[in-house]
Amino acid sequence: MSFTPKDHYYKKAKEMGFKARSAFKLDEIEDKYHIFKGAHRFLDLGCSPGSWSQWILKRAESMGAQSCEVLGVDLTPVELGLKGFHFIQGDMRELNLNQVFESLGSLQRFDIVLSDMAPKTTGIKLTDQARSFELCEIALDTAQKWLKPSGHVVIKLFHSEEFSELKKRILLNYKRFEAFRPKSTRSMSKEIFLIGINKKG
């Protein structure tokens, strides 16, 4: 992910010191659904270059929140130099989080699981959609295991026919389902965010 077109969000991200314009998607999600209030432990899947983790930690700091922790996972390394940021380099299709958590101890349960994971696009629509769907399923499986009851998930999907299958699955395990396309999403992007609010206990 990089800053390409020098649009409004690109300029704003630069001014505010965010590594990518994606940070503003969380602003919009929070403005609409208020799911971040009171959350302290975050799992940020597909976190590179790091703007979502930056957004979470900067927001916590500005609100005087104590001990906010983010565990980021990505294929590519991320350096943020922010207190509370932990990082694992790995492929979520293969990573054994049980082993990882053994070494991290206290980070075992999360208030919020985020996934902005996106496959490298091939330009072949069905392939890209299928890969994105696979990453959504992995994020949902991970949340099923590691998200606290009453916690929330936010997961990116390249919109496809599988949308309704994922919606069904989220409604089974969360009290509320929302689908949201932020204004800050680029117009040519097919992304949509699936939101599960209040995981059933």
Ligand X SMILES: C[S@@+](CC[C@H](N)C(=O)[O-])C[C@H]1O[C@@H](n2cnc3c(N)ncnc32)[C@H](O)[C@@H]1O
Which parts of this chain interact with ligand X (CB under 6 A)? 1, 19-20, 22-23, 46-52, 73-76, 91-93, 116-119, 135
Which position's Cβ is nearest ligand X?
A: 46
Question: From the candidates 156, 167, 190, 199, which is the catalytic residue?
Answer: 156
Q: What are phi and psi of 159, to 5 degrees?
A: -50, 135
Distance of closest approach, residue 149 Cβ to ligand X, in angstroms = 25
Q: Which is nearer to ligand X, 178 or 191 (CB)?
A: 191
Task: Supply the Cα-derived Rg of the chain in whole angstroms.
Answer: 16
Compute how many other C-beta atoms are within 10 angstroms of the C-beta atom of residue 71.
25
> Residues of 118-146 as b/e, b for ≥16 C-beta within 10 angstroms?
bbeeeeeeeebbebbbebbebbbebbeeb
Nearer to ligand X, 91 or 168 (CB): 91
Query: Is 6 annotated as catalytic?
Result: no
Nearer to ligand X, 71 or 92 (CB): 92
Q: State the minimum distance, in angstroms, from the CB of residue 192 to ligand X.
A: 13
The CB-of-146 to ligand X minimum distance in angstroms stands at 15
Q: For residue 194, what are the contacts with CB-CB under 8 A and spacing of at least 6?
A: 136, 153, 154, 155, 156, 157, 163, 166, 167, 170, 177, 178, 179
Contact at 8 Å (CB) between 86 and 17? Answer: no
The nearest distance, CB 200 to ligand X, in angstroms, is 26
Residue closer to ligand X, measured from CB, 16 or 171: 16
Question: Which residues are part of the catalytic machinery?
Answer: 156
